[in-house]
Chain A
Amino acid sequence: MAYTPHTEADHRRMLDAVGVASIDDLFADIPEAVRAQRFDLPPPLTEQEVRGELSRLAARNRVPSVSFLGAGAYRHLVPAVVMEVIGRSEFATAYTPYQPEVSQGTLQSIYEFQSMVCELTGMEVASASHYDGATATAEAALMACRLTRRHRVAVSTAVAPQVRAVLATYCSGPGVEILEVAADLAEGGSGLTPVDAAAAVMDDTVACLIVQQPNFFGGLEPMRQLADAAHANGGQLVSLVEPTSLALLEAPGAYGADIVTAEGQPLGIPLSYGGPYVGLMAARMDSVRQMPGRLVGSTRDAQGRKGYVLTLQAREQHIRREKAASNICTNQALCALAATAYLSAVGPNGLREVAELSTIQARHLAASVEQAGLGERRFSAPYFAEVAIRVPDAPRRHAALAERGIVAGHPLWRDYPELADTLLLATTELTTDDDVRSLAAGLEATR
């Protein structure tokens, strides 16, 4: 099924017009020596057959009945109206708005997205979006290097390991050096980024300090003090945030963040085994010319109608080529649209309810596990909607619970050898009291 409309008669007419006898003649410019010798793919499938194959693969996944998995991707309600909006053909089957006169829908929705990201973060300007939170953070680090003309960046080890891995990959290209600020993971420790250690690293050769709020372990970092440490010798603070938490937590713009990034997946985007997601990036207006990614601005036409265009394109690859701020070409427009529709659907009150429910259930979960003597919080600091809990013999019990369809969070020992037997458990507004009971019962049964 090639989705091609041409009949034999159409082919004939077109071949005659072109003046060749067969379609093969149109490929005569491919030298014999390099022509494909094989193309051994399965035969075509009808719609009902291909549905069968995809249903088979979907059924091979076992979606757990109870899951406390987060660690960078979160199970939230995706309102039906959000899926309806992004399912509109006019959004989904358009491309980058190169012709603004027939792309006002995409352009205005991006302008609304930029506006909402600025509101959430308390920043002055937001990009039209990035691939995901990790690549946005890596791009933010390189942006800070350009802004400060420095070639070293500092990152807390309480930033998600995935994000630090992507940061390392991006920095390896231009040879930017990464300095780690070790989080306090000692027995009885806070699980936070020590301010004095951050201050010690942030000398006048370091472009930025990258910190996550809430951090990878769910802990709440002292952002004001960390911002002061970053700024003391002219460095920048890059703050990686979780967007729903911003309904309750201080806006990064208010505590002095210079660049803010986020994984936008919690804003109405399905888990979909890791993507597509959307990276958020926001900054101060005086940094905009070093900001990577597309930007939409408002303007007018000759008849006095308001309209929207891609703007400040002199930063971008299709104009600047090797002098561009980044090679990024598209944004994640449809995912940004999902986030825009989500934030409009929940509004400020709904987003606060999501954040409150998530954090109450995290504390309910930790309290339930601790009171039943099943485990203990590994860190002392206040946390938001994710909590690190040490459970004796955790690897075996984590596997045994998975067998029962309960995913007891993310095993921390894989990335942090010092966090043996420690699980990172995430809660959202979808976490029910029954889920918490199931986890406690499961831990009890696998003692």
Chain B
Amino acid sequence: MSVAESPPADTSGRGAAFSSPAGGEQLQVVEPLIFDASAPGRRGVSFPRASDVARASAVAQPELPADLLRGAAPRLPEVSELDLLRHFNRLSQLNHAIDIGFYPLGSCTMKYNPKVNEWAARLPGLAESHPLDPDELAQGSLELQWLLAELLKEISGFPEVSLQPAAGAHGELTGMLMSRAYHRSRGEAEQRSKVLVPDSSHGTNPATATMVGYQTITIPSNDHGGIDLDALRAALGPDTAALMITNPSTLGIFEDQIHDVLAAVRAAGAIAYMDGANLNAILGRFRPGDAGFDVMHFNLHKTFSTPHGGGGPGAGPVGVSQRLAPFLPAPLPRLVEGDPAEVLANARVGRSTPGARFALETPGERPQSIGRVRSFTGNFGMFVRAYTYIRSNGASGLRAVSDDAVLAANYLRVRLADAYDLPFDRICKHEVVFSGRRQKRQHGVTTLDIAKAILDRGIHPPTIYFPLIVEEALMIEPTETESLETLDRFVEVMHEIAGLAESAPDELKRAPLTTPVGRLDEASAARRPDLRHRFEDETAGVSALREGGE
């Protein structure tokens, strides 16, 4: 997909749009860089001076060697605190966000992020806890992680959980490393070199397989949006290390042959990996551990409402079957003294358990562990938020999450089916995938045009052009937290745009018109990368180079 395929109207009077992307003309700037507000001597924060006592005493120790010191200071901006705050506040106002409007970005679960979770993460007792504090000082941090792992076990049906992976893709990496370690422990590491991945999968699945040294085999989907079982059976063999499958799939469809899929994988001696990106659809309805999966990552930033942060931080804990438990990353937080049932019962009613003691595993305690996948024990601040969310919801709330997420997606499915093609017209789970092929073939309006027109109506567009197997895909995930009025407004917008595709396609090609900037020239951004601010003494050389080259 390239912006150049559908050039917006040219207002420069120079013919084709973007004809001179890096030319000499002055660009209009929406918000200047923070560097532009800099003036020598301005500052936001000050620090105390070292005392005379400290300075005098320090002299007795070796000095910093002169040849290791920096010549010129880094040119960081020098700004007042107020100017700093205004700059970032103005930048923030250029963003769309959940807290501003509807954000039905498929596969990303852009649900409301409750504010009490933020309150909890900032509690000084938790936020100021050092990851290497002696266990005796960190009992709260350890207990919270132990409790969250216990809750995730119950939600997923897996007997063991590690919270360590920092993101969903990191959980996948952890899962595939455990797969390798498992096969190695059975003397089959060399033989099992292939990972099977459906053609509807997230790009992270094959990329992860490569990082672990596996070869990826792509399995086609069937006519109903499920996996082609015959093709899967044909591909499975003594060289298969694992199957990575998303369930519900990226088409928003629950794999109704899952029983047969798992039986076939198990019979071939391979590991069954579930990409848990879509867990939001099946809470209380399907437990992957019970069904026979070996490993799944949770996206705490999707299912359990931790903020997406503009693209992280997330958290990607993994749950595993008994046969993979020895290989989990280390160290795990453990309850080393006390009865687990009693600790759980007490935490249920907000009480600590006298005599209970938690500790991190000691190095080498689980010799088959794949080791560490990151520093310390994980994105703890996300654990605090997810724990708060799960406890706020409880069992009934989490069931309602999935019920309402699925109901909302099905509501949009039936309400929009008259205006857009539905490649898989069946009950969906938390998201529904439409195709804009009718609009493209009949009116030359692409899904990209539709997305940009949605922007003009104050709504974030769905995920577009994914999954790859759907032509001109529009992947809509409304989540459970959007009111019926919001859903109806979206239906209205999508109908209006489908109408405009017929009556005024050029209008859609000009969109968006109301956003801080219009469609951006991605092609020249990649051709002539400008990836950092250049100071005046640097830019002279650069423009001379460009002029010479053109």
Contact = CB atoms under 8 A, between A and B. Distances in A.
Contact of B78 (A20, A95, A135, A348): A348
Contact of B30 (A19, A250, A307): A307
Interface residues of B, number: 226
B75 A27 contact: no
A77 B65 contact: no
B210 A324 contact: yes
A309 B203 contact: no
A90 B100 contact: yes
A73 B180 CA distance: 31
Interface stretch (B132-140, B265-273, B439-447, B500-508): B132-140
B371 interface: yes
Contacts of B131: 72-73, 271, 273-275
B8 A302 contact: yes
B278 interface: no
Nearest to A384: B64
Given A71-B132, A303-B11, A382-B63, A169 B350 contact: no
Contacts of A13: 484
Contacts of B315: 276
Contact of A34 (B76, B139, B286): B286
A165 B375 CA distance: 9
A126 B531 CA distance: 8
Given A41-B394, A270-B128, A77 B47 contact: yes
Interface in B369-423: 370-382, 384, 387-388, 390-401, 403-404, 406-408, 410-411, 413-415
B227 interface: no
Contact of B406 (A23, A71, A112, A367): A23
B44 A79 contact: yes
Contacts, number: 747
Interface string B146-175: 000001001101000000001111101100
Contacts of A174: 211-213
Pick the most buried of B133, B143, B524: most chain A CB atoms within 10 A of its CB.
Answer: B133
Contacts of B530: 297-299
A95 B532 contact: no
Interface string A296-323: 1111111111111101111011111111
B88 A88 contact: yes
B526 A297 contact: yes
Contacts of A254: 70-71
Main secondary structure on chain B at its contact with chain A?
A: loop
Interface in A10-47: 10-11, 13-15, 17-20, 23, 25-31, 33-45, 47
Contact of A311 (B291, B461, B512, B526): B526
B65 A382 contact: yes
Interface string B269-306: 00000000000001111110011000000000000010
Nearest to A116: B76
B493 interface: no
A14 B522 contact: no
Contacts of A163: 375
A250 B66 CA distance: 10
B99 interface: yes
B235 interface: no
Interface size range of chain A in the complex? 35 or more
B495 interface: no
Interface stretch (A62-70, A195-203, A228-236): A62-70
A131 B78 contact: no
Interface in A87-118: 87-106, 108-109, 111-112, 114-116, 118
A55 B103 CA distance: 32
A305 B30 contact: yes
Given A72-B375, A357-B48, A3 B481 contact: yes
Contact of A301 (B31, B63, B286, B519): B519
Pick the most buried of B9, B144, B406: most chain A CB atoms within 10 A of its CB.
Answer: B144
B528 to A, nearest CB: 9
B204 interface: yes
Given A36-B284, A273-B141, A317-B207, A42 B395 contact: yes
B222 interface: no
Contacts of B168: 329
A61 B312 contact: no
Contacts of A124: 532
B144 A57 contact: yes
5 contacts: A3-B112, A91-B88, A163-B375, A343-B76, A383-B62
Given A77-B47, A273-B126, A344-B79, 17 more contacts: A4-B401, A26-B407, A36-B284, A39-B284, A55-B123, A61-B138, A64-B137, A94-B95, A95-B103, A135-B166, A142-B211, A172-B177, A301-B8, A304-B25, A327-B208, A329-B168, A350-B45
